[in-house]
Structure formats: structure tokens, C-alpha cells
Amino acid sequence: MKIQNAYVIVTSPGRNFVTLKIVTDEGVYGVGDATLNGRELSVASYLTDHVIPCLIGRDPQQIEDIWQYLYKGAYWRRGPVTMSAIAAVDTALWDIKAKLAGMPLYQLLGGKSRTGVMVYAHANGRDVAETVDRVGEYIEKGYKAIRAQSGVPGLSGVYGVAKGKFYEPATKGLPEESVWSTEAYLDFAPKLFEAVRVKHGMGPHLLHDVHHRLTPIEAGRLGKSLEPYRLFWMEDPTPAENQEAFRLIRQHTVTPVAVGEVFNTIWDCKDLIQNQLIDYIRTSVVHAGGITHMRRIADLAALYQVRTGSHGATDLSPICMGAALHFDTWVPNFGVQEHMEHCPETDEVFPHAYRFEDGYMLPGEVPGHGVDIDETLAAKYPYNPAYLPVARLADGTLWNW
Ligand SMILES: O=C(O)C(=O)C[C@H](O)[C@H](O)CO
Ligand SMILES: [Mg+2]
């Protein structure tokens, strides 16, 4: 069997997505997500101009060899563009292999380790009252785990707070700018979680994303101040380039820490995991080299009782979500999966077998990862350039968004 054709589909049904389709000479095909929010066309070009010519004629069943060929063979290793491109190839090849086997992907990975994948929803509001209400709505829908984000008094355009029905940080035109104040946020965050616990009790798992905005000692203070509200995790409390920083956070708080949505390889998280500086690893199928590499990360994490909590915002396409749900169904050290609902246009372009049931998601039983792309419909939504925002302090200093 040979790879006969491969091509990239860029579409924007509600937001931009990049998809790789690999077609074999026996007619079986697979699809992989290659979306890198705000930098989409760089991955599309990396695939079209540099990767696809190397794929034609290869045996699509040699997933490991193709992964190694693309990783080692480029000489230039790692990075979000490279690893998203490799991820797209890898996801499409696993899709093909599972279709050939006539099995849902989780079976090929080793079968079910659980009956359903616990997912967390995004409750966000402009203020405490609205966020508390949103949490209530998700509890009503059956979610067992809910991330709470709220507007902070005195700050406009805080990360995680929706302008419309669907939260989407990327905007058309040049990057939007917002002003950040750590002081205002640190005073406010414990009040938000106190209000959520007072209204909804200690039952639901609560999560919170700090989105890389604090220094290590500030993160320690935040974690300590949130301890009474027993968070499931505090996410990205500080940028993770300097991994020693997490030791300092650990010295001050037992609030669990989740990191990794911007990581691309096992090398980005090796020290954090081996030194037990985090509790959840948030790497995703699309940004960390596909199923093949995610397995390596999860196996390393398992040695240190670090569990998975994969990134699953709306800029990760339904194809990534489908592949992630098969992975989550198998992976022994699963923690939780992020789930942000896609808009109806996105769902229509990417027909999928996965579904939500009472707080859990199920990957479906169709052979492959169970997600396809309707190319005719996709062609109706041309690429729409958009950027992620940037944040500045009140004096204009560029900060972490
Ligand atoms: O979902 C999350 O936890 C995020 O932090 C979302 C990111 O900001 C988003 O995926 C960036 O494209
Ligand atoms: Mg995040």
C-alpha cells in the first residue's frame, strides 16, 4: 500500500482550521488537524512545500518510521510549526491504520481504560455573578468539571471572557491589545472561587487558567489563596520556559498545577514531570506531534503520577478532538479533557462520531478516529486572517497574554 496523494485544506467555518488529508492507492484516506492559531498558513506551507513531497509513495502503515523520518530527517527539530505538521501526518496515518483494521482508534491503541472521558467546560462571565450562573448552567448540563474565568473589575478584555456566545480570542485585523494588572487579578480571583463554592458547593471539580500571567512568587500566592476552594487545577500560572520556576510555586502551595498547552515535545515537559513540579500535562495531539508522540509523553508522565489534561479549545479542530478522545479512552494516566463547544458551522464542516453524555465524552465506534471533513462545504469558508491578542501593563510594558 502506498500514499498516493496528500493535500492541505484551509477553511474558516466560524474560525480558521488547517487540515491534512492523506489518500492511499487503495482508496482509504485519513485526516489530521494542523491548526496553529494565528499562524495557520505557516503550517500549511510547511506541509505543502516540504512534507507532502516526502510522503508520496511511502507505506502509510509505517507510522513510526514516517514520524522519525519527519522529525529527525528535517535536521531542524521541534517547534510549533514543525510539530503541528508532523502531528497532522501522524493523526491521518493512525486514522488510516484504524480504518484498515476496521477498529475505532482506541482499540488499536490498547482498548478502553474507562467507560467515558471526563471533560471540563468553560464557564465565563463578565463579572462574578455571571460566572457563577454559567457554572450553574454547566452543572445542569451534567458537567462534572468546569473551568471558571471572569472579567476582573477595572480591566477590560481579560483572557477567557467571551464577547459573544462563543469565546474566541483570535480577532480579524492586527492583534488586539488589552491592559493587565496582576494586583487587581490577585485580589479578585479568590473572591470569584469563594462565590462559586458558596453557590454550588464543593461537589463540582473547578479549574482555572492563569494563562502565563504571573511571576513564580505571585503564582505561589495565588495557589495558596485558592486552597480553601480545592481547585482541580491552576493552569499555566507562570510561563514555562524557566521550569525551575515551578519549584518555587510548589514550595508555597498544594493547589495542583497544569501546564503544557504550548509545549510541542517531550523535551519541553521532561524536567517538569521528572521533578514532579506539575500534576497535569496539557500537551495536545495537534501541537505535540500526534498520537505517536503523545503516547511517549503520557508514558513518561505515568512514572511520576502526572496525569493528562489535554488542551481542547475551539482552535483545535474537531479532528484533534476526535483523536484526543480515542487517546483519552485508552491512556492509563488520564486526568481530564478540555471541551469547548465548536460553533454549528464548524461542526457541519467536520462530521464526527464523538458525543457528549452526562459529563463524559465518547469517541464513537466507527473505524478510525471518527472525524471527517466535508470538502465541498469547507470550500465555502475561505481563510480569514486573524491574530491572538497581546497584553500590556498600564505603563505600556508588553506582558504575557
Ligand atoms: O483553552 C485554554 O486553556 C487556552 O488557554 C486557550 C488558548 O488561549 C488558545 O488555545 C490559544 O489559541
Ligand atoms: Mg490554557
Q: Are residues 265 and 127 in the same domain?
A: yes
In Å, how far from its chain's centre is CA 216?
23
Q: Are residues 246 and 302 in the same domain?
A: yes
Q: Which pLDDT score, from 0 to 100, does residue 189 have?
A: 97
CA 113 to ligand 2 centroid distance, Å: 26
The residue-averaged pLDDT of 288-308 equals 98
Q: How far is CA 325 from CA 39, 321, 329, in A?
A: 25, 6, 6
How open is the CA angle 8-12-15, to the nearest 5 degrees? 120
Residue positions counted in the chain: 401
Domain harbouring 343, CATH code:
3.20.20.120
Q: Give 302-323 pLDDT, tens digit per residue.
A: 999 999 999 999 999 999 999 9
Q: Give 309-361 pLDDT, tens digit per residue.
A: 999 999 999 999 999 999 999 999 999 999 999 999 999 999 999 999 999 99
Measured from the Cα of 316, ligand 1's closest atom is 10
211 classed as catalytic: yes
ipTM beyond cut 0.90? yes
Q: Give 208-241 pLDDT, tens digit per residue.
A: 999 999 999 999 999 999 999 999 999 999 999 9
Q: Which pLDDT score, from 0 to 100, does residue 164 have?
A: 72
SS (H, E, C) 236-257: CCCCCCCCCHHHHHHCCCCCCE
Residue closest via CA to ligand 1's atom 11 equals 37
Structural domain includes residue 333: yes
Q: Are residues 152 and 280 in the same domain?
A: yes
pLDDT of 374 strictly over 80: yes
The residue-averaged pLDDT of 6-24 equals 98
Domain-terminating residue out of 64, 87, 104: 104
SS3 state at 9: strand
Q: Are residues 98 and 239 in the same domain?
A: no
Domain harbouring 87, CATH code:
3.30.390.10
Q: Which pLDDT score, from 0 to 100, does residue 283 have?
A: 98
Q: Give 154-203 pLDDT, tens digit per residue.
A: 898 788 888 776 778 898 989 999 999 999 999 999 999 999 999 999 99
Q: Which pLDDT score, from 0 to 100, does residue 163 have?
A: 77
Instruction: Report percent pLDDT > 90 for the chain.
Output: 95
Q: Which pLDDT score, from 0 to 100, does residue 156 have?
A: 83
Residues in contact with ligand 1 by the CB-under-6-Å rule are 37, 169, 209, 211, 261, 311, 313, 315, 338, 388
CA 371 to ligand 1 centroid distance, Å: 22
Average pLDDT, the chain: 97
Query: What is the widest separation between alpha-carbon atoms in the chain?
Result: 61
Instruction: Report percent pLDDT > 70 for the chain.
Output: 100
Phi, psi of 48 (to 5 degrees): -65, -45
**CB proximity list for 183: less than 8 A, separation 6 or greater:** none
Domain encompassing residue 323: 108-365
Residue closest via CA to ligand 1's atom 4 equals 313
Q: Which pLDDT score, from 0 to 100, does residue 161 have?
A: 87
Measured from the Cα of 313, ligand 1's closest atom is 1
Q: Give 48-68 pLDDT, tens digit per residue.
A: 999 999 999 999 999 999 999
Q: Are residues 311 and 206 in the same domain?
A: yes
Residue closest via CA to ligand 1's atom 1 equals 313
78 confidence band (pLDDT: 50, 70, 90): very high
Q: Are residues 332 and 183 in the same domain?
A: yes
Structural domain includes residue 371: no
CA 79 to ligand 2 centroid distance, Å: 18
Structural domain includes residue 75: yes
Q: Are residues 162 and 175 in the same domain?
A: yes
How far apart are alpha carbons 8 and 383 in whole angstroms? Answer: 12
Q: In what order do the strands lie in the sheet with 398-399?
A: 177-179, 390-392, 398-399
Measured from the Cα of 122, ligand 1's closest atom is 1
**CB proximity list for 155: less than 8 A, separation 6 or greater:** 178, 179, 180, 181, 184, 185
Q: Are residues 124 and 253 in the same domain?
A: yes
Q: Are residues 97 and 194 in the same domain?
A: no
Q: For the chain, how many structural domains are there in total?
A: 2
SS3 state at 209: strand
Structural domain includes residue 356: yes
Of all ligands present, the nearest one to the C-alpha of 159 is 1
The residue-averaged pLDDT of 105-133 equals 97
Q: How far is CA 242 from CA 213, 272, 350, in A?
A: 14, 10, 38
Residue closest via CA to ligand 1's atom 7 equals 313
Domain-terminating residue out of 77, 104, 131: 104
Q: Are residues 113 and 96 in the same domain?
A: no
Measured from the Cα of 37, ligand 1's closest atom is 12
Residue closest via CA to ligand 1's atom 9 equals 313
Output the DSSP codes for 299-358. HHHHHTT-EE-----TTS-HHHHHHHHHHHHH-TTB--EE--PPPHHHHHHS-BS-EEET
pLDDT of 372 strictly over 90: yes
Structural domain includes residue 388: no
354 classed as catalytic: no
370 confidence band (pLDDT: 50, 70, 90): very high
In Å, how far from its chain's centre is CA 392?
25
- Pick the catalytic residue: 159, 229, 354, 360? 159
Rounded to two decimals, the pTM is: 0.97
CA 340 to ligand 2 centroid distance, Å: 12
Structural domain includes residue 15: yes
248 confidence band (pLDDT: 50, 70, 90): very high
SS3 state at 158: coil
132 confidence band (pLDDT: 50, 70, 90): very high
